[in-house]
């Protein structure tokens, strides 16, 4: 496995926008890879690995569990058949897009709230009266990070599980040549 970009381990727990990219190759064709992933995954609870109904990548996969954990890692798989006879398999491990959007909205609201407090209070109230609003802002700043860390800790083995699943299912091996990234659909 070549890790194209692997952040420090602590970012998995504390960074809501955490992302890891990996590149593999397989001797299988793109169509065969798609067939195998369609057969080995489910959109419901029937198998170990689920796939999303809609995906910006070729496949969006996650580990199926009996509980809902919005902070669990997803793997976005892109298949590139531009290097015959091999197919490049790009894996991007990250949080779900909906959780990432939630964090943007949450911190956007927090920024507006902080701006409102800071604009309305200078010179009108003693600094001791600002302790409560600033404490609330600190709590609102820390709470999503704590939730993210807890959710990712619950899903501790999911990154390795999804990577192992793809390596075995698609017969992946380490890439010797790294093709240029392909963007778009």
> Residue 183: its pLDDT value, please?
42
**How many distinct structural domains can be found in the chain?**
1
> Residue 36: its pLDDT value, please?
95
| Token output for 92 | 């991007």
Phi/psi at 20 (5° precision): -125, 135
Per the structure, the complete domain to which residue 31 belongs is given by 1-176
Q: Residues 80-105: what's their mean pLDDT?
A: 90
How much is the mean pLDDT over the chain? Answer: 85
Q: Residues 80-92: what's their mean pLDDT?
A: 90
125-163 pLDDT, tens digit per residue, is 666 777 887 888 889 889 989 999 999 999 999 999 999
8 Å CB contact between 47 and 64: yes
Q: Which pTM was predicted? A: 0.80
Work out whether strand 59-63 and strand 49-51 pair parallel, antiparallel, or are unpaired: antiparallel
**Helices 97-120 and 131-154: angle between axes, nearest 10 degrees:** 170
Residue 63 lies in a domain: yes
Residue 88 lies in a domain: yes
Residue 184 lies in a domain: no
């Amino acid at each position: 496995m070549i890790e194209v970009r692997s952040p420090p381990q602590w970012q998995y727990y504390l960074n809501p926008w955490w992302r890891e990219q990996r590149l593999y190759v397989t001797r299988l064709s793109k169509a065969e890879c798609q067939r195998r992933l369609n057969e080995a995954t489910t959109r419901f609870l029937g198998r170990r690995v689920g796939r999303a109904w809609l995906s910006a990548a070729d496949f969006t996969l996650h580990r199926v569990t009996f509980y809902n954990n919005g902070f669990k890692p997803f793997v976005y798989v892109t298949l590139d058949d531009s290097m015959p006879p091999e197919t490049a398999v790009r894996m991007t491990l990250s949080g779900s897009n909906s959780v990432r959007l939630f964090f943007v909205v949450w911190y956007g609201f927090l920024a507006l709230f902080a701006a409102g407090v800071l604009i309305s209070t200078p010179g009108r109230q003693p600094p001791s009266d600002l302790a409560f609003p600033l404490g609330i802002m600190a709590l609102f700043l820390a709470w999503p990070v704590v939730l993210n860390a807890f959710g990712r800790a619950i899903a501790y083995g999911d990154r390795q599980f999804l990577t192992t699943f793809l390596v075995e299912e698609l017969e992946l091996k380490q890439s010797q040549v790294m093709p240029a990234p392909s963007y778009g659909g």
